[in-house]
Structure 1
Amino acid sequence: MDNVTERDPLATRIRVLEEFGKIITQIATNPELWRKLSFEAHKELCKELGEDFMDYPEFEFWFSRFLQGNFNLDYHRSSDPKARSFLDLPWDTFEKVGEYLRLYDRLELRNVCKDVRARVDNWDPKVAKICYYTVKVWSIDHKSRRESYFSQTMEIHDRFNNSNPMSFVMNVLKHPKLQLEELTIYREDQDWKKLIKRLDKSNQKLHVKKVDFAHFYRSSKIDLHFMIPGVLEEIKILFLYPKRNELSEIIESEQCQASRMLHIQSGTCPSEFPLDVLYNCPRFTLRLEGKHEDVYKPNFLKTLMNKGVVQKCVIYMLEPSDITFSPSEILKYFNEPEAMVQDIPSLRRYPIPGTNEFYELEYREEVKSRKGPGFRENLVRLERKHKPHEMAERDQVVTRRRILEEFGKVQMQIAAKPELWRKLSFEAHRELCKVVKWWNFINYPEFEFWFLRFVQGNFDLDYDRSSDPKVRPLSDLPQDVFEKIGETLELHDRFQLRNVCKDFRIQVDNWDPKVTKIYYSSANDWRIWQTSRPALYCADNFGLNENNRFRPGFHRYPISFVMSVLKHPKLQLEKMTIDLQGIMWKKLVKRLDASNRKLHVKNVEFQNRQRRANIDLRFMIPGVLEEIKMFLVDPTREDITEIVKSEQCQAAKLVYIESPIIFSQFPSDVLYNCPRFTLKFGGSPAYRLKAKFLKKLMKEGKVQKCVIYAHCQILKHFNEPEAMVPNFPSLRRYPIPGTNDFYEIEYQEKSIRLERK
C-alpha cells in the first residue's frame, strides 16, 4: 500500500479518507475541533508514511471535503480559484502594514521568504543613530519611536537569538535603505570587527553622515573603509597616543579626503603629536593640550599654506586661564605688511601664487572651554578663500612694485656689471622672501620675468602675460630623444624624474625598468636585481653612497624605493622571493591594492619559516604566475585551503610545497582540488599513506600533474596487472573512465610522478 501511495494520487486520497473515518465520531461530537483533529491525523499519517507524504494544506483540503460530505476522490483541483497569498496585497497596503510594525518585527518578517524580503527592503528603516559600546551594550535610535532600542531590551532577545544579540544590529546595518545621521563607536573590539567583516562580504558600505569614535583610543588604528566616501561629512576621533603611520592611513583614506571636517582631539602635547601628517588633510579641527606656542609656531601653519592642500583648519589649544597670555605672542610670527587686513588686527591674508585665492588666518582668544571655567581655549583658523577680481588685480600690482623696489636696490650694480644680473636677481628674490617671511611669496621664474623687464628699461606694471609665447617644457622633447635620456639614467634617478610632474610620469612609466628579481625579508633587508646594472640595489645603499640625501635618487625611506619598483606599470619579474610577510610587507601589498595593480611575476618563492602558513597570493596576476614555492613549518587546513582555492594557484604551472612535518600530519585531502603540485615532507616514508593519497587523486580526477618525494618501495602498492607497462617496470597507466585520458604513474629518482595524459 505504501508503494502505491507514493505513486498514485487516488491511493493517497483514500488514505486521507481512512484517517477521516477514524475520527468522524469525535468530529460529530465536537465539530469545532475538526481542524485540530485534522492536524493530528496528518501528523500521525506522516509518522507512518514519511514527512514528505503530503503537505498539510493539501491534506486539509481533502479532509474538509470529506467533512462536508463530498467523497468524490476524482475531483481535479485545477478548477479551484487561485489561492491568494500575502504577497498579492496591493503595494500601498503592504507598505501600510509595514508602518505599524516595529523594526525588529520588520526584520523578522524579512526572513519569511525572498519575495517578502524584497518588499521589506524597500521600507525605510528610519534609523537615525547607532551607538556601539560592546557586543552586549548598544543602542539604536528610531525616528518614529520615542524610545531607543537597547541591547538589554527583552522583546528583541525574544525574537533574535539570545546567544547572539548582535544579530539585530547586523540586520540593521545590512539594510539596503539604511541612512544613518550618526554612528558612535566607543570600542572597535573583535565583535565590531566581525560585524564589519560580514558587512564587507555583503558588498555594502554604510550610508553615514557623521561618525564619532567617542572613546580615547589608546591606538590610532581607526577603520573607516566600511562607510561611503562623500556621504560621510564629519569624522570625530579621540586619540590617546596617536601614531604617525596609523594617523596617516586615516587621512589618506577616501572617506577622510572627501569629508567636510575631520575633528581630532588628543590629550597629547603638541610636541608629541605628528602634526606633519596633517599637511595632506583638506579639512580638520585639532584640539590639543599644552603650551600655545608649541602649536602656533609659524612652521606648522606656514607649511600648511605652502603645501596648499588644506582648505580649512581650526586649531584649539587648551590651557589654564590663569596663565598670562597675549595674542601678540602668536601674531608676531605673521606680521608681514602685505598680509595685514585694515581695521582687523587679528586677521591675516596670504595670496596663493598662481591662483586667485588666498589663505585667511584668524586668531581668536578666550573661547569658552569645555573643560570648565578654570581653562580657556585659544584658536587659530586657517581657511582658503577666493579673491574678488579687484582684489586679485590689486595684489598682482603690489607684488610687481615690490620686485621693482628690489630691482632699484641693485640697479647700480647691474649697470656696472651687466653679466651679473641673473645672480643679483636670484639674491634679490631670496632676500624678498626673507623680508616677507614667506618663501613662495612669488616663484622665481615669475620674479625673474619682471626683474628682466626692469633691467631692459620696461616699467609697465600692467603688462598682461597672456600674450607671451608659450614656454616649451622638457616634456615637449621628441619621444625618441626622451627615451635616450632614460636609457642613461639609473633606476632611482628615473623615479626621481617621475615625481616631477604628471607628463613626466606618463613618459617615464613607458620605460622598461629592467628589474628581473626581487628578494624581500624586511623593510631593512631587501634586494633588487636589474639587467642593466651590475650591482644590485639593497636597503644598505640608501642614505650611504649613491642614493644618499645629497643625490637626486634619494628616497627618504628605503622601503619607498621598493614600493616605487612594485608599482611600476612595466614591471615584469622573473622571480620574487619573500622571506617574511611582516607588517611592512602587508602595507606594501595594501598600497599596491589601492593602486588597482597586480604584480607581473613568473616565479614566487615563500621562504616563510614561521609556524603559520599565512601566504597571500592575491597581489600577483593569475596565469602569468607559473611557479609557486612554499616552505610551510606547521600548515593548517584553513591556510592550505585558501592557498589552493586562489586563482593564482589554480592557474599556476606547478606549486611546490615543502614541509618538515610527516605526511600523516599534513592535510593532504585539501590538495584534491589542486591541479599541479609537488610535495616534499620530513619524517617517515609513509608509503601506504602516499599510495592511498595518489589513488584518491586519480579517483577525484582533478589533478593534472603531481610529484611526491618517496622511495621506490611505493610501487608495490600499484601492482595491478592491467596498469603495468611492458618493458617499463617503473611505469603504471590507469585509464580514466568516460574519457580518452589516462593517469601515468612513474617512479623517478627519489620521487613518484602522477600525470594525466
Structure 2
Amino acid sequence: MKLSSDFLKKNQHFLRSCILYEVVREEPIYYAYNNFCYAVGKDAMEYPDFEFWYYRFYQGELDLDYDRSADPEPKKLVDMPVVLMKEIVKNLDAVERTCLRSMNHAIKDVADSFDPVFEKLDVGVYDFSLTWKLNKLSFSCDKQESGGCRFYKEHSHSWISEKSEESYIQKSLEYLTPLLTMPNIKVNHFSLRLSEETIAMNFNCDDLLPVPLNAKSVFIESQTTNQVVQFLSGMRPGSLESISLKIPERENYERIFETDQFKQAKNVEFDMDMEFNMADLVHFSHLKTFKFNLIGRNTFEDVPKIRDIISTSENFESCEMIYYAFRDDFSFEKFAASLGAEIPIGPLAEGERLTFTHRYQIPESNECLEFIVKKQYHGRCLVNVFKTRIS
C-alpha cells in the first residue's frame, strides 16, 4: 500500500515517531533533520519544532501526545537586544556571518553592519561540476548522469550532500550569487579556473559576477583572451593590486593591457607558457613587479632596450623573465655580452646552472639595476632584475 505524502504530514504521531527513530539511532540532530526531510518532505515540519521533539525524546520524555500549548512561548533569536546580537556577530568570522545572515532580515541587517572580508575564494567551472572554496570551507555541485545535480558541502571533516533537479550551474549560483553580492564584500585573493567546455556553455562573467568584485589579488586561468578579459573586467579596478593570468592558447594579449584593471595594478604575473614580444614591454612601465616570458628577435638590440625601459620606470622594484631570441642564434654568452657583463670562469657544482650577476647604475640617480642571469634549457635564460640603492 502506497501512503500519500499528505497523510504522512498530517499524522503527527507518525512524524514524531520518525523523530524518535532518529534519536534511537543516535543520529546527530543536523543529519537527523536531513533524513527526516528526505523521508517525509521538507515542508512536513519546521526545524524549531523538529528540534523541540528531538531533544525531548533525547532526554527520555517519550510521550507522543504531549500538549505544547501550555508551555511558555519560546524565545527567538530576534528577541534578544540588538547590542547583544552585534556582540555575537562580532565574534564570528566572515564565513559564519554569511551563514547567519540568511536566517531572517533582522539578523541579516546586523551581519551586514560588519564588512565581510574573506581571505580567499577559489572557483572552478568545468563541464561536469562547479567547485568553490571559501577560506577553508569547500563546496561542489556535480552533474548527475540521471539528470539534475548533487550539491556537496564540507562539514566537520565530512561531507553533506543534497540532490537537486536543477542544473549544476544553476544550483551553484544559488549559493554563490548571494555571497558575491553581499554589501561591501572583500576578498584578499580570488581565483577562477575555467575549462575549455565553458566556452560552449556560454558561461560568462554576468553569471558569476553580477556586480564588480572587490578583490585585492586575482588569478584567472582560461582558454581564451576574451574570457580572461571578461572576468578580469569583473574585478573592481581601484582595489585590485595583483593580477596572475594563465592562457594556454597563444594569442594577442593587447586587450589585457587595455583594461583598467591592468593599468591600475601594481603586480602582474603571466604564466611562462604565454609569450610576449619586445613591443609589449612598454605596457609594464607602471608596475612594481612583473613576471613573464619574453621572445626577442635580436639580443644585442633587445637587452639594452629592456634595461632602458626598466631603468626609467619610476615604480619598478623587481621582475622575473624568461628571455629567448629565436631569430639570431641566441646564446647565453650573447646575452651577457649585450649587457657588458662577464661570465664567471670555473667548474660548476653538480646540478648548478651557469649564472652571472651584473649591476647597472641608472644615469643621474643613486639607484642601480642588479641583473642575475641564469642559463636555462633549450637556449633560454632566466633573468631576475632588482632595483637597489647605492650605499
Task: State the TM-score bracket (shorter-chain normalisation).
Answer: 0.5 to 0.7
Q: Secondary structure at the match of 1:154?
A: strand
Contact 2:131 2:139 in 1 (8 A): yes
Aligned match for 1:91, one of 78, 85, 95? 85
Please say if residues 358 and 387 of structure 1, whose CA atoms lie closer than 8 Å, have aligned partners that are also in contact: yes
The one-letter code sitting in structure 1 at the alignment partner of 2:255 is: E
Letter paired with 1:86:
L
User: Which structure is higher in helix share?
Assistant: 1
CA contact (8 A) 1:184 1:212 kept: yes
- Matching residue's letter, 2:129: V
Aligned to 1:207: 215
Task: Return the alpha-carbon distance in structure 2 between the equivalents of residues 144 and 382 of structure 1.
Answer: 35
Q: 1:478-506 deviations in whole A, cap 9, x for unaligned?
A: xxxxxxxxxxxxxxxxxxxxxxxxxxxxx
- How big is the shift at 1:335? 1.6
Q: Does 1:140 align with 2:152?
A: no
Q: Contact conserved, 1:95 with 1:123, CA < 8 A, in 2?
A: no
Tell me, in whole angstroms, the C-alpha distance in 2 between the residues paired with 1:248 and 1:161.
42
Q: CA deviation at 1:155?
A: 3.9
Classify 1:380/1:351 alpha carbon distance in 2 versus 1 (closer, same or farther; 3 Å).
Answer: same
Q: How far did 1:168 drift?
A: 1.4
**1:335 aligned partner, one-letter code:** G
Q: Which has the larger radius of gyration?
A: 1
User: 1:547-696 to 2 correspondence within 5 Å?
Assistant: none
Alignment match, 2:349: none
What's 2:192 paired with? 184
* Match among 121, 127, 132 for residue 129 of structure 1: 121
Secondary structure at 1:384 match in 2: strand
Residue 247 of structure 1 is matched in structure 2 by 256
Separation in structure 2 between the aligned mates of residue 346 and residue 88 of structure 1, nearest angstrom: 71
Hey, what does 2:321 align to over in structure 1?
315
Q: Deviations over 1:453-483 (max 9, x none)?
A: xxxxxxxxxxxxxxxxxxxxxxxxxxxxxxx
Q: Does 1:110 align with 2:115?
A: no
Partner of 1:167: 174
Give the partner amino acid of 1:329: K
Residues 282-310 of structure 1 deviation map (CA, whole Å, 9 limit, x = unaligned): 42111256879499532333333245553
The secondary structure found in structure 1 opposite 2:222 is: strand
RMSD between superposed Cα atoms in Å: 5.1
> Which residue number corresponds to residue 390 of structure 2?
387
Q: Secondary structure at the match of 1:141?
A: strand
Cα separation, 2, equivalents of 1:68 and 1:297: 84
Go from structure 1 to structure 2 and tell me whether the alpha carbon gap of 1:244 and 1:31 turns closer, same or farther (over 3 Å shift).
Answer: closer
Do the aligned residues in 2 keep the contact of 1:127 with 1:180 (CA within 8 Å)? yes
Q: CA deviation at 1:255?
A: 5.6
The answer on 1:193 being equivalent to 2:193 is no
CA distance in structure 2 between the partners assigned to 1:275 and 1:96 by the alignment: 47
Which of 256, 263, 267 is 1:260 aligned to?
267
Does structure 1 residue 301 correspond to structure 2 residue 307?
A: yes
Kept in 2: contact 1:292–1:317 (CA 8 A): no
User: Across the two proteins, how many residue pairs are aligned to each other?
Assistant: 291
- The equivalent residue for 2:280 is 274
Please list, as runs of the form range in 1=range in 2, the aligned pairs for 1:11-90 lying within 5 A after superposition.
84-89=75-80, 90=84
1:349 aligned residue: 359
The alpha-carbon distance between structure 1 residues 319 and 359, as it changes in their structure 2 partners (threshold 3 A), is closer
Q: 1:149: Cα distance to partner?
A: 0.7
Deviations 1:354-376 (A, max 9, x none): 4322222231223xx7xxxxx57
Query: For the residues of structure 2 that align with 1:186 and 1:31, how far apart are their CA atoms?
Result: 49
Instruction: Tell me how far 1:84 sits from its aligned partner.
Output: 3.6
- CA distance in structure 2 between the partners assigned to 1:307 and 1:97 by the alignment: 45
Conserved? CA contact 1:315–1:380, under 8 Å:
yes
Distance 1:377-1:119 versus aligned 2 partners, 3 A rule: farther
Which residue number in structure 1 is paired with residue 335 of structure 2? Answer: 330
Checking the alignment, whether the CA contact within 8 Å between 2:355 and 2:372 is kept in structure 1 is no
Q: Tell me how far 1:218 sits from its aligned partner.
A: 4.6
The residue aligned with 1:378 is: 381
Deviation string for 1:390-428 (max 9, x for gaps)? xxxxxxxxxxxxxxxxxxxxxxxxxxxxxxxxxxxxxxx
Does the 8 Å CA contact 1:357/1:387 hold for their aligned counterparts?
yes
Mapped to 1, the partners of 2:262 and 2:131 lie a distance apart of 24
**Cα deviation code 1:312-346 (max 9, x no counterpart):** 222114799xxx97532112112289xx99xx982
With a CA cutoff of 8 Å and minimum separation of 6, indicate the structure with the bigger relative contact order: 2
Which structure has greater strand proportion? 2
Confirm whether residue 236 of structure 1 aligns to residue 228 of structure 2: no
Distance in 1 between residues matched to 2:248 and 2:321, nearest whole Å: 15
Q: Structure 1: how far apart are the matches of 2:359 and 2:375?
A: 19
TM-score, scaled to structure 1: 0.32
The answer on whether the counterparts of 1:265 and 1:288 sit within 8 Å (CA) in structure 2 is no
CA distance in 2, matches of 1:178, 1:155: 25
Match of 1:76 in 2: none
Alignment check: 8 A CA contact 1:351 1:358 kept: yes
Deviation at 1:199, TM superposition (A): 1.5
Contact 2:225 2:253 in 1 (8 A): no
Secondary structure in structure 2 of the residue aligned to 1:117: helix
The reply on whether 1:149 has 2:139 as its aligned counterpart is yes
Q: How far apart are 1:261 and its partner, in Å?
A: 3.6
Change in 2 beyond 3 A, CA 1:240/1:294: farther
C-alpha distance in 2 between matches for 1:93 and 1:213: 37
Kept in 2: contact 1:132–1:184 (CA 8 A): yes
Q: Which runs of 5+ in 2 are unaligned?
A: 1-10, 15-66, 143-148, 153-160, 345-353
Cα shift at 1:379: 1.3
Question: Aligned-pair distance for 1:215?
Answer: 3.0
In structure 1, what residue type is equivalent to 2:252?
Answer: K
| 1:130 and 1:138 in contact (8 A); partners too | no
Q: Contact between 1:266 and 1:288, CA under 8 Å: does it hold in 2?
A: no
C-alpha distance in 2, partners of 1:215/1:294? Answer: 35
Q: Deviations over 1:495-547 (max 9, x none)?
A: xxxxxxxxxxxxxxxxxxxxxxxxxxxxxxxxxxxxxxxxxxxxxxxxxxxxx
